[in-house]
Amino acid sequence: MWRKSSYSPDGNNCVEIGAGVGVRDSKAPTAPHLPVSPAGWEAFLDATKGDQFGRA
């Protein structure tokens, strides 16, 4: 099952996460997805919460 972020303002320009599956572009749901392990996803979330990516 795929979920969109609740922070996506218009529901179009976002990514979706699939539990135990990976990440995909919501505009191209049939395109290949990026596989992400549970540990990898947790590390990504921790990095974003800690602002390790900086501001663009």
29: domain range?
Answer: 2-49
Residues 32, 25: Cα–Cα separation, whole Å: 9
* 31 domain-assigned: yes
C-alpha triplet 35, 45, 14: angle, nearest 5°: 65
Write down the pLDDT at residue 55: 62
Give mean pLDDT, residues 37-45.
86
For 8-37, what is each residue's pLDDT tens digit? 766 667 778 887 778 888 788 888 888 988
Write down the pLDDT at residue 10: 67
* 10 domain-assigned: yes
* 56 domain-assigned: no
* 14 domain-assigned: yes
pTM of the model: 0.58
Number of domains in the chain: 1
